[in-house]
Every structure is written in structure tokens, then in C-alpha cells.
Amino acid sequence: MAEEHTALTVALAQLKLAAQKLELNSGIHKMLSQPKRSISVSIDIRLDNGAIGVYNGIRVQHWDVRGPFKGGIRYYPNITQDEVTALSMLMTWKCAIADIPYGGAKGGVCVDSKKLSKHELERLTRRYVSLIVEYLGPHRDIPAPDMYTDAQTMAWIMDTYSQLKGYMVPECVTGKPVEVGGSEGRTEATGRGVIHCVKEAAQNKNLKLKNATVAIQGFGNVGYHAAVAANEIGCKVVAVSDSTGAICNPNGLNPVAVLAHKEKTGTVQNFKGCINITNEDLLETECDILIPAAMENQITCKNADKIRAKLVAEAANGPTTPEADKCLHEKGIVLIPDILANCGGVTVSYFEWVQNLTREHWTLQEVNEKLETKMTKAFDDVYALSQKEKSDMRTAALMMGVGRVANAIKVLGLWP
């Protein structure tokens, strides 16, 4: 495959690989190649200056045989239906790997959220929800945060859905603020989950974690919490980045202080004691563990042979191209694939939904313990399959995710 692929061509190639390995029925393979439902809406809002803003909103529902659709909503310029479809597919496999009773979905609004005021973002979110409300719901499709959306966005989604239904429905969305039914530990869950996988992988690779060096691309929700969790287990975070650039300090940096600096100045760059480097440099930094936690297609055939980490944990969705994947594998670098590494977010989203449905509120300790149990089990299952199949972890994870969904289709049969 050439490097000029889209997220969708990669997702379809991954499905094909899993289908071949599993000797999947060709009809089921075909079913899983298409989303069950794909929605595109025009979101028209009044901007603060009185003008009308028009934005494309997307929601793709891939498959729901194992439970209601589940997946984040991202606000990002130039987002396409194909990209959202690919991400919805990854969600289906991810929920199956985490062994939680959900199918996969993803949403997106084509917008540069940094250019809108908070009021404009609220109107955009509410209007988007109103346009797709009949396809959402706690037993239909449950959104969550993703790039450039957060707990506040989820609160607006919950309120809009509830206002339209006429009663409060906290279980219609996850990643909400704790004050309105959000779970303890949801914000940090994806980052923490990545580090649980790193711990397991390090054990298998005999990599000592005390003072192991970590470089993290992307210092948003996932990247920041992965940095904090890495520090907690004794690793040394030596480089981090955001969309404006990267910083590096071989002696280690304090993520909490970097976040305070970023909140004050709008960038991680120019942080005291660090040197400014580029995002490209960050990926090639000398480190034990590399955590891409920003965008798709960051590790490509152009830089894969320059990656010096021993372990790559894909916190972001789709950060490694298939060619780069092959190159890392040949170099003996262990890669924990996105559908396994970042499934902590959807796992605690599931905990939040269960708490909402049962009107319970679990402590942070309970949530973190349950998360660790789930992540460790998911990692160990995929690792065992990779050993059995003599394959890399991505192939094993895909086989596990696709296999579980295909089995559900077989058991349910086709109606009518």
C-alpha cells in the first residue's frame, strides 16, 4: 500500500487482514466494511457578530451487535466523512477488545473551535445534537469527548438531549462533569490506561520503568494525563509537545508545571529549563517509551527508521501508518496499538454509564481499580493471542476485536 492512504483505507486494510487471519465469512467481512448508519447535517448558528455560521456535522454509527453505539465527538477543521467512518470502525473493535457491551460510533464537526467563542461553541453543540437527536440515546448511541471537545461540551449535549426529551437523562452521554453525573476518573482514564498497558508491556520486554525516559506528542487531555501517570510509576518524561511545537529536557520535566505554563502562555514552548524542539524532533528523541497522543499519521515511512524508542504506545487513534508499522516491527520496537492502548477512556465511559443507569456514584479509587483490572486483562488477552499467532500486537488486537464482533453477528443471525 502506498503512503498516500486515508484513515479509511487503513481501517479497511486492517479489517481485511483480520478477516483473512480469522478466515471470516465474506458476507460478514462485507457487512463490517460499511457503517450501519452515516449521518451528515448542516449546523447553522448565529455568530456573536450577528452573521450566520454554517458547519458540517457528521455522526457515523458503525456496528452495534454487542451493545449501543459508543464514540467520541471531535471538533476539527477539514474533518471528513471517511475519517469519521474509519474512527467509528476502530471504536467497534476497541469496545470488543475492552470487552464492554458497546458498538462503535464517531462524530465530528468541521470547525476550528479555537476561532469560536464559548457561546458560539455552545450554540454549535446544541444545534448539532438537535439535528441528530433521534439517533442518540442511552440505549442507542452515547457520545463522549474527543479532540477539542471536553466535559463542558458533554454537559451541553446532556442538557440539550434532556430538554428535548422533557426529563434529565445523564446516561445519554459520558465524559460529563462530575456535578451532573460524570464519573470520577473519566478525564484522566485514557492517559492512565495507556500507562497500564506500558507497565504490562515493559514487564514482557524486561524494560525497567524506574527512570525510563518518555516522550509524549500532544499535551491535551490524553497526553497530559499519560505524562502524570508515567511520572507516578517512576518514569521520567523528557519531552512533550502541542500543536505549537515541542520541548525537551533530558533530566525530566514536571507535567503539572508545564500545564500551568501552557495555560498561561497558550503553548508548551519556552518552558524554563527545557529547549524548544519541533514535533518532528520529539518523535525522534532518544527515549525508552514514545507516546503519540495527538493526531493520525505521525509516524510514517519518512521517520519510522529514526524512531529510537524501545516501546511505542499509541494513545492517539491511528498515529502510525502501515508502512511505519512494518518498519517498527522489523526494528524490534514493541508497538501497543491504539485500539488497545487508548481503550481506558471508553472503559471508564462505560463505568460512568453504568453508574448513571443504576444511580450510583463510585469513588475514584473504585474506578481506578476497575480500570486497571480491565486494562490489564485486555492487554494480557491481546499479548497472549500475539504469542499464539506469532504476530505483532496490532494484528492480534484486530483479530480479537473483529473476531468478537463477528461472533456476535453469527449468534444473532440476520433479520428477517
Binder among 107, 170, 185, 220 for ligand NAD (CB under 6 A): 220
According to the binding rule CB under 6 A, does residue 104 interact with ligand NAD? no
Which of 36, 70, 94, 106 is catalytic? The answer is: 106
According to the binding rule CB under 6 A, does residue 148 interact with ligand NAD? yes
Binder among 316, 335, 400, 402 for ligand NAD (CB under 6 A): 316
Q: How far is the CB of 145 from ligand NAD (least distance, A)?
A: 5
According to the binding rule CB under 6 A, does residue 342 interact with ligand NAD? yes
| Torsion 59-60-65-67 (CA) sign | negative
Binder among 241, 269, 320, 347 for ligand NAD (CB under 6 A): 241
Q: How far is the CB of 147 from ligand NAD (least distance, A)?
A: 4
Give the per-residue contact string, 31-60, with ligand NAD (x = CB under 6 A; - = no).
------------------------------
According to the binding rule CB under 6 A, does residue 92 interact with ligand NAD? no
Q: How far is the CB of 375 from ligand NAD (least distance, A)?
A: 13
Binder among 128, 156, 219, 271 for ligand NAD (CB under 6 A): 219
CA distance 364 to 381: 26
CB of 316 or CB of 334, closer to ligand NAD: 316
- Asked whether the bond before 143 is cis by omega within 30 degrees of 0, the reply is no
According to the binding rule CB under 6 A, does residue 147 interact with ligand NAD? yes
106 given a catalytic annotation: yes
Question: Please, which contacts does 77-82 make with residues 24 or more away whose CB atoms are closer than 8 Å?
Answer: 77/110, 77/111, 77/112, 78/110, 79/108, 79/109, 79/110, 80/6, 81/38, 81/40, 82/6, 82/7, 82/8
Could you tell me whether strands 103-109 and 141-145 are parallel, antiparallel, or unpaired per DSSP bridges? unpaired
Binder among 146, 284, 288, 352 for ligand NAD (CB under 6 A): 146
Residues binding ligand NAD: what is the number (CB under 6 A)? 24
* Closest residue to bound ligand NAD by CB: 220
According to the binding rule CB under 6 A, does residue 190 interact with ligand NAD? yes
According to the binding rule CB under 6 A, does residue 378 interact with ligand NAD? no
CB of 19 or CB of 214, closer to ligand NAD: 214
- Catalytic residue numbers read 106
Binding site for ligand NAD (CB under 6 A): 145-148, 190, 217-223, 241-243, 279, 293-295, 315-317, 342, 345
